Amino acid sequence: MSRRKIVAGNWKMNLDRTQARELTAAVAARRGTAAAVELVLCPPALYVETVGTALAAAQSDIGLGGQNVHDKPNGAFTGEVSPPMLVDLGCRYVILGHSERRTLCGETDAVVNAKTKAALAAGLTPIVCVGETLAEREADRTAAVVTGQVQGSLAGLSAADLEKIVVAYEPVWAIGTGKVATPEQAQEVHALIRSQLAALSSAAVAAQVRIQYGGSVKPDNAADLAAQPDIDGALVGGASLKADDFLGIAKAFAG
């Protein structure tokens, strides 16, 4: 089963509008070197339109995504952004359940599950993040934690919806720390996630789902990760803020 690799940049709460426009133009202009890979940019919500406009101006096929979304389509939810609003601005993706939202904003698996269903209902592809903390890994709880997050975050999804999602395995201890999981550590958890997806639906569905690795991915460690059979791309934080680094990672996944 061949899954098209997908590399997404999570810009988090970084850059100003001019920088967002410039970074988009730089990535789009040099994207040709990694054409086999699907690329997605996830800017801060306020810059989604700016980035979408820059991508359109460059006639780029790079996808646009949000970093979070509410689980209701509209209503009295001050400060929130809904799935249809992201779609309205040209988004096709949304990152959900990032560890920063799980820890800093108290998002539980149930919250991630509701957002995942709402995103799918609006036609967005959710990039659903899971991953263990250092304490959990050291306590030998990685498999239990990741299994619980996969089952909880994806509960009740139909096979057709499961096929559409992307899962990102992001060990919390590797995010923004410079400590990347070894390719073997990552592969082991990716295989576990795929087996959990099979348990939720079927082996055939699980074989279609793309599973990204995230956590200090850089151009110089991406090729070893990309060589693993169950690693189908990367969710990139820090390195996505530099066009050369982001495209270097994309190139590694292009093979």
Task: List the interface residues with ligand PEP, window 5-44 (CB under 6 A).
Answer: 10
Residue 98 known to be catalytic:
yes
Binds ligand PEP (CB under 6 A): choice among 20, 217, 231, 243: 217
In whole angstroms, the minimum distance from the beta carbon of 226 to ligand PEP comes to: 15
Within 10 A of 164 (CB to CB), how many other CB atoms are there?
A: 16
Minimum distance from residue 252 beta carbon to ligand PEP (Å)? 14
d(CA 138, CA 151): 22
Return the closest-CA partner of residue 172 out of 241, 253, 250, 237. Answer: 237
Contact pick of 94, 120, 235, 247 for ligand PEP (by CB under 6 A): 235
Q: State which of residues 43, 126, 131, 215 lies at the interface with ligand PEP (CB under 6 A).
A: 215
Taking the complex as a whole, the smallest distance from the CB of residue 255 to ligand PEP amounts, in Å, to 21
d(CA 133, CA 218): 21
End-to-end CA distance of the chain: 16
Least distance in Å: CB of 72 to ligand PEP? Answer: 25
Q: What is the 3-state secondary structure (H, E, C) of 74-98?
A: CCCCCCCCCHHHHHHCCCCEEEECC
Q: Identify the helix (H) or strand (E) that includes residue 235.
A: strand 233-236
Give residue number: closest CB to ligand PEP. 237
**The binder of ligand PEP chosen from 237, 245, 252, 253 (CB under 6 A):** 237
Give the nearest distance from C-beta 244 to ligand PEP in angstroms: 15
Question: What is the x/- site pattern for ligand PEP, positions 42-81, by CB under 6 A?
Answer: ----------------------------------------
Instruction: State how far the alpha carbon of 254 is from the alpha carbons of 89, 100, 161, 171, 199, in Å.
Output: 28, 28, 26, 23, 30
136 catalytic residue (yes or no): no
CB of 70 or CB of 102, closer to ligand PEP:
102
Catalytic residue among 98, 100, 107, 190: 98
Spatial neighbors of 220 by CB under 8 A, at least 6 apart, are none
What value, to the nearest 5°, has the Cα angle with vertex 250 and ends 183 and 43? 110
Give the catalytic positions in this structure. 98, 170
Query: Which chain residues interact with ligand PEP by CB under 6 A?
Result: 10, 170, 175-176, 214-217, 235-239
